[in-house]
Structure 1
Amino acid sequence: MDGCLSSQRPGCLGEAQHTPGGWLDADKKRPFQEDGPRGPPRDSPEREPSLQSLQTFVPTDYTSYTQENYLYAGKKIVIQESIESYGAMVWPGATALCQYLEEHTEELNLQNAKILEIGAGPGLVSIVASILGAQVTATDLPDVLGNLQHNLLKNTLKCAAHLPDVKALVWGEDLEKHFPKSTCYYDYVVASDVVYHHYFLDKLLTTMVYFSQPGTVLLWANKFRFSTDYEFLDKFKQVFDTTLLAECSESSCKIFKGILKWD
């Protein structure tokens, strides 16, 4: 969360902030190092991926790959990113949500909890949730699943009781076919920085509602950049009983808990 976190280095904490969720001291989440170049400004809308993309993501220039290093739950986590795809980068909401999960593991009862991540990207949140003991299904568009799978296996193979699963998920499409409610129940649905400048926000909300069964808790972390982000929040509050769990005013990053309203 740049503002609370260093604006140039995802996962870096700046000055400790006193917020409802609480943030750890600066040095506790500082990456070990960074390799390779950084891309254009992260709030730029120019590289938006297509929701209908069915191609495997392969960078056209392998110098675009970087490795970011994080420390959560006492484990060093190495994430392979590429600046060529939104879905292959770690965003501020992900580091915020990882920190929240780590600080509230017992309260959330993550041990053996079934978690679905929507828009897992390079997989940092799913990795941390797995290390903390959850049974995780990480989902994203088909074009970034190769990089997601790589990061999940690399970071959980020897340190997670439950290896995370990886599935393709196109928001709002064939949900019952690929995730039948009769067999797919999740204690938590988590999402970070899935709301930004794109045209699929209604499908995203439909997907969040679909996976929210009785007893399911939705945890959504997001950096608020545009007026459309707040418009989505208003719609979110119409269908979910919403609680603000944590926020950083400097970075405009917030974490919400949502419980689906039932008629």
Structure 2
Amino acid sequence: MDVCLSSEQQPGHLGKGPSSPDGWLETKEEETLQKDDTSGSPGDFNEKPSLHSLQKFVPTNYASYTQEYYLFAGKRIVIQESIESYGAVVWPGATALCQYLEEHPEELNLQDAKILEIGAGPGLVSIVASILGAQVTATDMPDVLGNLQYNLLKNTLNCTAHLPEVKELVWGEGLEQNFPKSTFYYDYILASDVVYHHYFLDKLLSTMVYLCQPGTVMLWANKFRFSTDYEFLDKFKQVFDTTFLAEFPESSVKIFKGTLKWD
């Protein structure tokens, strides 16, 4: 089954598939792409690009990759995940944010919107935003970019209006150099489960503030686990005009909208 074909409207997690020991999905869809890429004469430049021909980053060779299946925005999405890395797992905030995006497409007006996702992980939120018509830049730490790009290409190549871009983003580092305000403007900044028990919350908040310009909307979804999560929320409210959008009690996820305060 082609993951780019429409499926039944049943948002959420569909289950687990077989593992792929070398870190690459071995599916009929990929085989078809590879065959398409090698067919025809050598001089034929009208062929569609293959997944591997566009892959710039190599996924980390974890031993425990599995295929997880999700259904959002009418599409069956295949995500390569590994429990060996926090950045290679879909967390509850991501599925909640995907559900919110697909349920409010007209209100959010995502068609052709410019979106950057902070801490994209294995890429589910960025994939759903792309399916909904947005121009997406998915960012994360260097070690997860290979798996992130693989999942994005796997689920959006030749079936979305805009092919997502992948960029490295280390919170609080090289922001002006890598994302100059004169060049980069985003309608939305998306973040899900980026706040947890660690020591980089100040850098995360400064990164959120930097990426927002007048008119930029921050959508932040998070499972609230620790007291530090609520402390971050208090700091978030100090710099963002904050609206509580939704709550998912079964997963303890809350979703907030923020627009930067301009004094």
TM-score range, shorter chain: 0.7 to 0.9
Alignment-derived partner of residue 249 in structure 1? 249
* Unaligned runs of at least 5 residues, structure 2: 1-8, 20-56
Match in the other structure for 1:232 = 232
Q: Please say which of residues 108-117 and 245-254 is displaced more in the overlay.
A: 245-254
* Aligned 1:57-76 pairs, distance under 5 A: 58-60=60-62, 62=63, 64-76=64-76
Which one has the largest radius of gyration?
A: 2
Deviations 1:233-254 (A, max 9, x none): 0000000000000002332210
Give, in whole Å, the separation in 1 of the partners of 2:200 and 2:65. 27
Q: Is the 8 A contact 2:17 2:69 kept in 1?
A: no
Return the offset for 1:30. 4.4
Structure with the larger RCO, 1 or 2 (CA within 8 Å, 6+ apart): 1
Query: SS of 1:33's equivalent?
Result: strand
- Residue 31 of structure 2 corresponds to residue 29 of structure 1: no
DSSP 3-state at the match of 1:31: strand
What's the counterpart of residue 157 of structure 2?
157
Q: Displacement of 1:57 after TM fit? A: 5.8
* Partner-residue secondary structure (3-state), 1:176: helix
Question: How do 1:58-207 residues align onto structure 2 when only pairs under 5 Å count?
Answer: 58-60=60-62, 62=63, 64-207=64-207
- Indicate if the aligned counterparts of 2:68 and 2:78 stay in contact, CA closer than 8 A: yes
CA distance in 1, matches of 2:220, 2:143: 23
- Structure 1 partner of 2:222: 222
Q: Within 2, Cα distance between the matches of 1:200 and 1:56?
A: 26
For 1:175 and 1:108, the matched residues in 2 are separated by 26
- Distance in 2, matches of 1:258 and 1:250, equals 24
Confirm or deny: 8 A CA contact 1:56 1:144 kept in the other structure: no
Three-state SS of the structure 1 residue aligned to 2:126 is helix
Distance 1:259 1:30, change over 3 A: closer
1:123–1:181 CA distance, 2 compared to 1 (3 A):
same
Name stretches of at least 5 consecutive residues in structure 1 with no aligned partner: 1-26, 38-54
TM-score using structure 1 length? 0.80
Number of corresponding residues: 218
- Cα shift readout 1:52-92 (whole Å, capped 9, x = no counterpart): xxx976244x2x11111011111110000011000000000
Q: Give, in whole Å, the separation in 2 of the partners of 1:244 and 1:107.
A: 15
Q: 4+ residue stretches of structure 1 with deviation over 4 A?
A: none
The one-letter amino acid of 2:234's match is D
Q: Deviations over 1:196-231 (max 9, x none)?
A: 011100000000000110000000000000000000
Q: Percent identity?
A: 79
